[in-house]
């Protein structure tokens, strides 16, 4: 059984009430709800929120959710895994079963589609991995990025000798974008993390669909991408 959990707390710093912020006239949360509810592979969807207005928004979108996250798990410093664990305990008690697989869909990735969700689930099933995380290609190559240190700096990845163009750089580099996390529940509860170095399966998605809305600029970028789609 595969459960999708949508964590949507009421507080936020970069954008006040971020999960209800309007993107092209629709609350940010609505995009993730619509994508999840249209999936062919999700058995059930659970909203994890501490906020009644967010819960009411979800209900208008077709997801009534009696579960409420405790206030102490809704702060800026609260780790997502703690909220996920609490939701799993509630679900097992109230629904009489614990899901075999958990999918976490953050509302701050509004351009992630049902196609991305179903593709990631299929890839996860075929891989036999215990965890999966979505990624997209980096916009900046690490050979053009530097780390500042002790008054100096160094390249994150040294460029090849005599490299004159970006095409001369080696390697494929991706960013873990937070749009999708999948895990076998028993492994998640044991490891208490979704990304296990060297073991987690990566699911690559288009860069524009991996936009993570954390600031007003991110919201404008997401709106621009939606406008290009139209």
Which residues have a Cβ under 8 Å from the Cβ of 52 and sit 6 or more positions away? Answer: none
Fold of 2-138+173-229: Spore Coat Polysaccharide Biosynthesis Protein SpsA; Chain A (3.90.550)
pLDDT digits (tens, 9 = 90+) for 72-115: 887 777 788 999 999 999 999 999 999 999 999 999 999 999 99
Which residues have a Cβ under 8 Å from the Cβ of 33 and sit 6 or more positions away? Answer: 6, 45, 58, 61, 62, 63
Going from the C-alpha of 42 to that of each of 105, 162, 195, 215, 225, the distances in angstroms are 12, 50, 21, 30, 27
Give the mean model confidence (pLDDT) for residues 50-78: 89
Residue 4 clears pLDDT 80, i.e. is over it: yes
- What ranges do the domains of the chain cover? 2-138+173-229, 139-171
Q: What is the CA radius of gyration of the chain?
A: 19
Q: What is the pLDDT of residue 162?
A: 67
Give the mean model confidence (pLDDT) for residues 210-221: 94
Which residue did the predictor score with more confidence, 148 or 165?
A: 148
Model pTM score: 0.91
Q: Are 194 and 131 in contact (CB under 8 A)?
A: yes
pLDDT digits (tens, 9 = 90+) for 150-208: 889 998 888 877 665 666 777 789 999 999 999 999 999 999 999 999 999 999 999 99
pLDDT above 70 as % of the chain: 97
Q: Are 169 and 141 in contact (CB under 8 A)?
A: yes
Buried b (16+ CB within 10 A) or exposed e, 41-63: bbeebbbbbbbeebbebbeebeb
pLDDT above 90 as % of the chain: 77
Q: What is the pLDDT of residue 164?
A: 59
Give the mean model confidence (pLDDT) for residues 220-229: 91
Q: What is the pLDDT of residue 198?
A: 92
**Mean pLDDT over all residues of the chain?**
92
Cα gap 120→123, rounded to integer Å? 5
Sign of torsion over alpha carbons 81, 15, 214, 109: positive
Q: What is the pLDDT of residue 160?
A: 79
User: What does DSSP say about strands 44-48 and 2-7: parallel, antiparallel, or unpaired?
Assistant: parallel
Residue 211 clears pLDDT 90, i.e. is over it: yes
Q: Are 179 and 102 in contact (CB under 8 A)?
A: no
């Amino acid at each position: 059984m595969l459960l999708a959990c949508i964590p949507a707390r009421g507080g936020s710093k970069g954008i006040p009430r971020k999960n209800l912020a309007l993107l092209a006239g629709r609350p940010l949360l609505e995009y993730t709800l619509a994508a999840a509810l249209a999936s062919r592979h999700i058995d059930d969807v659970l909203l994890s929120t501490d906020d009644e207005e967010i819960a009411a928004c979800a209900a208008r979108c077709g997801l009534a959710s009696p579960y409420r996250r405790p206030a102490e798990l809704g702060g800026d410093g609260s780790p997502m895994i703690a909220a996920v664990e609490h939701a799993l305990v509630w679900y097992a008690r109230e629904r009489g079963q614990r899901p075999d697989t958990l999918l976490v869909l953050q509302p701050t990735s509004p351009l992630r589609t049902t196609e991305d969700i179903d593709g990631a689930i299929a890839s996860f099933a075929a891989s036999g991995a215990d965890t999966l995380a979505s990624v997209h290609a980096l916009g900046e190559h690490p050979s053009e990025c530097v780390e500042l240190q002790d008054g100096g700096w160094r390249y994150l990845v040294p460029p090849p000798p005599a490299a004159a163009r970006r095409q001369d750089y080696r390697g494929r580099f991706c960013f873990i974008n937070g749009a999708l996390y999948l895990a076998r529940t028993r492994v998640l509860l044991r490891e208490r993390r979704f990304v296990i170095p060297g073991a987690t399966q990566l699911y690559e998605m288009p860069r524009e669909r991996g936009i993570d809305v954390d600031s007003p600029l991110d919201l404008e970028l997401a709106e621009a991408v939606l406008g290009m789609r139209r």
